[in-house]
């Protein structure tokens, strides 16, 4: 955590909320009637969406939907997930 | 279809390259219990899974395994960056380097290339789910083994995350197995394949498969002619077992006529 730069910290929020939705979704697949889990899923999906928008505003698109019309085609720019920034 | 998100499921940021360690960890990319085999296993099995909970679980876990494959590749890539020829020789990386340089190629730690024989897609949900639970345990053991090989916290952190996911997937597949077993035909005491035999019964009952039914009847009549011992006739599996276990023979052993009150 301590060695994270500003970009990575913002991305980490997306990863945290994204992980919560992934994990809860797996749980719901075998417990589809669990209302508590379904409420949690909706909460974390919203949180992930918000975190994604925060990140994309500053560092570019995470998905094709995240492309900002004013900045042009930015999909090929920026750091790819396996790259280490020097 | 699938879409790509430009992020890892969990961050990978390794400060110190270590090609020798990369050579061990690459097994979780293309090895017998690796993430590629895991993903292909679940995404292949889902087409013959008869229950919606099972289809969703196989689809979502199979998709998550693709994300895990990407994390393993990121770890291997970062452990092998900026290597000098001297480092390659000193770390025992020359055999891999000579064929792949510093590229990612799916192989086991011992050099065996990735193979579809690493997994099974058997078309019987009970068999497949047992395979999947075993596969999650084998992957967990492999991560345990990797954890013993290094004390680099940058590597241990994502490896521990991946290890924990194996436990969660094992749990979900266990629940899926329970759901499948709960829904077995109550007459299917011996848990014969609910995907295949169920489909056969449905095809036989369906109007649009009359031809299939007639052909089937012809086959059965032919069998009757050449084999007077009707107790040996094969039907769908759960019918067969009632014959084998003498519980309630479908045909009268003496006359060869179907029993009216069968079941």
Interval B93-106 mean pLDDT: 97
**Per-residue pLDDT band at B187 (split at 50, 70, 90):** confident
Residue B134 pLDDT exceeds 90: yes
Contact B104, B29 (CB under 8 A): yes
Chain B residues whose CB is inside 8 A of the A78 CB are 6
Indicate the residue of A4, A22, A30 with minimum beta-carbon distance to B53.
Answer: A30
* Number of domains into which chain A is organized: 1
Contacts with B11 from chain A: Cβ below 8 Å: 4, 8, 11-12, 15
Hey, are the CB atoms on A19 and B12 less than 8 Å from each other?
Answer: no
CB nearest to A29's CB, from B60, B73, B77: B60
Mean pLDDT of B47-71: 97
Q: Which residues contact A54 (CB under 8 A, 6 or more apart)?
A: A10, A13
Is A25 at the interface with chain B, CB within 8 A? yes
Global ipTM: 0.95
For A42, the domain range is 6-71
Q: How far apart are CA A75 and CA A66, in angstroms?
A: 9
pLDDT, residue B225, reads 60
Query: Binning pLDDT at 50, 70 and 90, where does residue B247 land?
Result: very low
Distance from CA of B150 to the nearest CA of A (A): 20
Determine, yes or no, domain membership for A77: no
In this predicted model, which residue has the larger pLDDT, A30 or B205?
Answer: A30
Domain boundaries of chain B, sorted by first residue: 19-182, 187-263
Q: Do B139 and B166 meet the contact criterion of CB atoms below 8 Å apart?
A: yes
Going by pLDDT thresholds of 50, 70 and 90, the confidence category of residue B212 is low
Q: Contact, B79 vs B25, CB < 8 A? A: yes
Beta bridge partners of B258: B251
Q: Give me the residue from B13, B53, B169 closest to A3, CB to CB.
A: B13
CA atoms within 13 A on the CB side of B257: 4
Class of domain B19-182: mainly alpha
What is the structure's pLDDT at B199?
59
> Does A63 map to a domain?
yes
């Amino acid at each position: 955590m301590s060695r994270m730069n500003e970009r990575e910290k913002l991305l980490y929020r997306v990863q945290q909320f994204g992980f919560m939705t992934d994990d809860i979704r797996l749980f719901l697949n075998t417990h589809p009637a669990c209302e508590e889990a379904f409420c949690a899923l909706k909460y974390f999906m919203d949180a992930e969406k918000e975190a994604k928008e925060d990140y994309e505003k500053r560092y570019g698109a995470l998905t094709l939907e995240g492309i900002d019309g004013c900045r042009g085609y930015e999909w090929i720019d920026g750091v790819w997930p396996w790259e280490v920034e020097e | 279809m699938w879409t790509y998100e430009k992020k890892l499921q969990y961050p990978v940021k390794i400060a110190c390259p270590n090609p020798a360690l990369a050579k061990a960890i690459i097994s979780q990319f293309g090895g017998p219990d690796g993430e590629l085999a895991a993903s292909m296993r679940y995404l292949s099995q889902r087409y013959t899974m008869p229950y919606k909970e099972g289809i969703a679980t196989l689809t979502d876990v199979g998709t998550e395994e693709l994300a895990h494959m990407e994390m393993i590749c990121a770890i291997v890539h970062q452990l092998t960056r900026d290597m000098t020829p001297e480092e390659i020789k000193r770390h025992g990386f020359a055999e891999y380097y000579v064929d792949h340089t510093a590229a990612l190629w799916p192989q086991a730690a011992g050099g065996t290339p990735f193979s579809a024989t690493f997994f099974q897609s058997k078309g019987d949900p009970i068999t497949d789910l047992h395979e999947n639970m075993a596969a999650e345990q084998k992957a967990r053991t492999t991560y345990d083994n990797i954890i013993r090989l290094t004390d680099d916290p940058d590597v241990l952190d994502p490896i521990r995350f991946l290890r924990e996911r194996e436990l969660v997937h094992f749990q979900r597949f266990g629940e899926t197995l329970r759901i499948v077993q709960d829904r077995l035909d109550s007459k299917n005491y011996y848990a014969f394949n609910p995907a295949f035999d169920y489909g056969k019964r449905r095809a036989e009952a369906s109007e649009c498969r009359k031809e299939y039914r007639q052909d089937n009847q012809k086959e059965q009549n032919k069998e009757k002619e050449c084999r007077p011992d009707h107790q040996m006739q094969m039907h769908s599996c759960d019918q067969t077992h009632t014959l084998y276990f003498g519980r309630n023979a479908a045909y009268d052993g003496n006359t060869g006529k179907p029993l009216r009150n069968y079941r």
